[in-house]
């Protein structure tokens, strides 16, 4: 059996795990066992499922410190953020444990017979394909509602987050019927394909390129699919914004965890000619880059060498186009890079239009608030729009025009509430929303039943 290694980005000599790659036959066998387990799970009823998911939450909470250390070590997430992510994972499990009791349909007035109702039923075995950047929260915000709705789950994690996924399986699976929640280790082309060929419903989070392929595969098989993909989020700074506070918020949104979030701010659009750059550069330069296990550090390493090469190529292209580096542009130390703020790039420059998964933002100027929102909307992506200012009429008018799934007013573009629907517009998302009660709809199908009287 071939193996895959996941290494720590802050110390690439540290092999966090070396795990066996599943063959296509093993993936099929995993699905067959999951199908058996799903029947058992559904037969448990809402109370049984809630009990098991609460027990899984307790188990994760008990091992929260271990989980936090693993997230820091495997993906280089700064420890304060890693701690928050694990706590969020526990809360997500508890939320969906309780959601097992939510109403699952409506009773309607029958036109004939005595009763007409609809009810939500599970799809069967759900296939999850997850990225590396939220190695606890993303698997759980998909798996917990899928399980709560009565499905089994087979999950293929990113090759860069295998240890975290296996840890979740070790902690959670003992509280569920055997085979109900399984991690399938492997690459996209092998295990990813086997998963999309077998699943009754598919949920994906990752790049737009891969997500679009998965959507097409699912459509050809006629199975439900949702895909959460890239972002190129703008933060608009209005003339009446509090520049100091706004600068600190945007610096964190763009650069924490080395900017490796789909919700990170990538473009700052300043309205008018006020000097936002000075406080912004100060806020960016105050962020500590270094060992993510150090509690004072907010910017850790990039995830791997391919990501570093993408980042460096982006800087080269900015240089070649006359971009001005307001800060950053120091040589990389291993996979560590200094946050970069760029100005002077045209709005149609590739860097202003394509996601670079790293600590980099471009700053643009807009003459009016209307120009700013049009600039924010003029990209293929539509995940989050940030708007900063004081005039409530102005803020609400711009919020209403944003082509994005989330609008954040005077708040960081990154960070989501797991009990609210989450997803984007345009190339950022496909299919139904994730999280909140919306997720329960995606992970179930509606059956309408008529009862007549003889």
Restricted to residues 363-402, the positions that interact with ligand NAD (CB under 6 A) are 383
β-bridge mates for residue 20, sequence order: 3
CB of 264 to ligand NAD, least distance (A): 8
Question: Would you say 232 or 376 has its CB closer to ligand NAD?
Answer: 232
CB of 146 to ligand NAD, least distance (A): 16
- Dihedral pair phi/psi, residue 315, rounded to 5°: -65, -40
Region near ligand NAD per CB under 6 A, out of 64-72, 184-192, 276-284, 384-392: 184-192
Among 6, 10, 68, 193, binds ligand NAD (CB under 6 A): 193
Residue 369 and residue 398 in contact, taking contact as beta carbons nearer than 8 Å: yes
Residues in CB range of 41: below 8 A, 6 or more apart: 49, 147, 150, 151, 152, 176, 177, 180
d(Cα 358, Cα 361) in Å, to the nearest integer?
9
Residue 250 and residue 268 in contact, taking contact as beta carbons nearer than 8 Å: yes
Binding of ligand NAD by 158 (CB under 6 A): yes
Q: What are the structure tokens assigned to 377, written together?
A: 């909307």
Residues in CB range of 336: below 8 A, 6 or more apart: 10, 289, 290, 300, 301, 302
d(Cα 430, Cα 347) in Å, to the nearest integer?
25
End-to-end CA distance of the chain: 61
Question: Would you say 150 or 259 has its CB closer to ligand NAD?
Answer: 259
- 164 in catalytic set: no
Q: x/- string (CB under 6 A) for ligand NAD, residues 233-262?
A: -----------------------------x
Question: Would you say 129 or 342 has its CB closer to ligand NAD?
Answer: 129
Considering 262, 277, 285, 374, which one is annotated as catalytic? 262
CB of 451 to ligand NAD, least distance (A): 41
Angle between helices 137-148 and 162-172 in degrees, nearest 10: 40
- Binding-residue total with ligand NAD (CB under 6 A): 31
d(Cα 126, Cα 336) in Å, to the nearest integer?
37
Question: Would you say 127 or 323 has its CB closer to ligand NAD?
Answer: 127
Secondary structure of residue 453 in the 3-state scheme: coil
Residues in CB range of 36: below 8 A, 6 or more apart: 179
Region near ligand NAD per CB under 6 A, out of 21-29, 30-38, 45-53, 191-199: 191-199
CB of 133 to ligand NAD, least distance (A): 5
CB of 190 to ligand NAD, least distance (A): 9
Secondary structure of residue 225 in the 3-state scheme: strand
Binding of ligand NAD by 189 (CB under 6 A): yes
Burial (CB count <10 Å: 0-12, 13-18, 19+), residue 163? buried
Binding of ligand NAD by 133 (CB under 6 A): yes
Considering 74, 81, 85, 228, which one is annotated as catalytic? 228
Among 129, 235, 251, 270, binds ligand NAD (CB under 6 A): 129
- 262 in catalytic set: yes
User: What is the Cβ-side half-sphere exposure of residue 128, based on CA atoms within 13 angstroms?
Assistant: 28
Q: x/- string (CB under 6 A) for ligand NAD, residues 197-236?
A: --------xxx--x--xx-------------xxxx-----
Q: x/- string (CB under 6 A) for ligand NAD, residues 411-440?
A: -----------------x------------
CB of 78 to ligand NAD, least distance (A): 17
CB burial of 28-65 (b: ≥16 within 10 Å; e: otherwise) equals eebbebbeebbeebbebeeeebbebbbbbbebbbeeee
Region near ligand NAD per CB under 6 A, out of 97-105, 126-134, 218-226, 343-351: 126-134
Region near ligand NAD per CB under 6 A, out of 49-57, 152-160, 340-348, 368-376: 152-160
Q: x/- string (CB under 6 A) for ligand NAD, residues 318-357?
A: -------------------------------------x-x
CA 30 to chain centre: 25
Whole-angstrom CA distances from 116 to 190, 447, 452 are 45, 11, 9
Q: Which residues are catalytic?
A: 228, 262
Residues that bind ligand NAD (CB under 6 A): 129-134, 156-159, 187-189, 192-193, 196, 205-207, 210, 213-214, 228-231, 262, 355, 357, 383, 428
């Amino acid at each position: 059996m071939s193996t895959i290694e996941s290494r720590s980005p802050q110390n690439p000599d540290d092999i966090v795990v070396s795990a066996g790659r599943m063959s296509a036959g093993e993936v099929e066998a995993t699905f067959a066992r999951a199908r058996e387990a799903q029947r058992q799970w559904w037969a448990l009823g809402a109370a049984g499922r809630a009990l098991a998911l609460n027990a899984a939450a307790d188990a994760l909470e008990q091992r929260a410190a271990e989980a936090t250390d693993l997230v820091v070590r495997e993906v280089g997430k700064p420890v304060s953020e890693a701690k928050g992510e694990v706590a969020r994972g526990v809360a997500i499990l508890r939320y969906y444990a309780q959601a097992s009791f939510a109403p699952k349909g409506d009773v309607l007035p029958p036109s004939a017979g005595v009763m007409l109702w609809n009810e939500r039923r599970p799809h069967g075995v759900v296939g999850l394909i997850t990225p590396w950047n939220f190695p606890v929260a993303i698997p759980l915000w998909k798996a917990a509602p899928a399980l709560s709705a009565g499905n089994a789950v087979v999950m293929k994690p990113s090759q860069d987050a295998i240890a975290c996924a296996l840890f979740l399986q070790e902690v959670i699976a003992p509280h569920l019927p055997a085979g109900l929640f399984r991690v399938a280790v492997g690459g996209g082309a092998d295990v990813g394909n086997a998963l999309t060929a077998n699943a009754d419903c598919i949920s994906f989070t990752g790049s737009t390129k891969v997500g679009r392929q998965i959507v097409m595969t699912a459509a050809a098989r006629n199975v439900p699919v949702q895909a959460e993909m890239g972002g190129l989020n703008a933060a608009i700074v209005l003339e009446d914004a509090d520049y100091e506070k706004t600068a600190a918020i945007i610096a964190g949104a763009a650069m924490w965890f080395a900017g490796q979030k789909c919700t990170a701010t990538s473009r700052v659009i300043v309205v008018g000619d006020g000097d936002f750059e000075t406080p912004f550069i100060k806020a960016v330069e105050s962020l500590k880059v270094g060992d993510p296990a150090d509690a004072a550090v907010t910017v850790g390493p990039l995830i791997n060498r391919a990501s570093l090469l993408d980042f460096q190529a982006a800087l080269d292209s900015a240089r070649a186009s006359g971009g001005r580096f307001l800060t950053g542009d120091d040589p990389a130390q291993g996979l560590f890079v200094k946050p970069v703020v760029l100005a002077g790039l045209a709005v149609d420059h590739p860097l202003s239009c394509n996601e670079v998964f790293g600590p980099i933002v471009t700053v643009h100027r807009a003459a009016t608030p209307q120009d700013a929102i049009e600039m924010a909307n003029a990209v293929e992506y539509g995940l989050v729009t940030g708007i900063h200012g004081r005039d409530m009429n102005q803020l609400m008018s711009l919020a209403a025009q944003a082509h994005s799934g989330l609008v954040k007013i005077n708040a960081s573009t990154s960070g989501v509430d797991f009990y609210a629907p989450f997803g984007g517009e345009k190339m950022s998302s496909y299919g139904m929303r994730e999280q909140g009660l919306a997720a329960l709809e995606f992970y179930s199908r509606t059956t309408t039943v008529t009862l007549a009287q003889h």
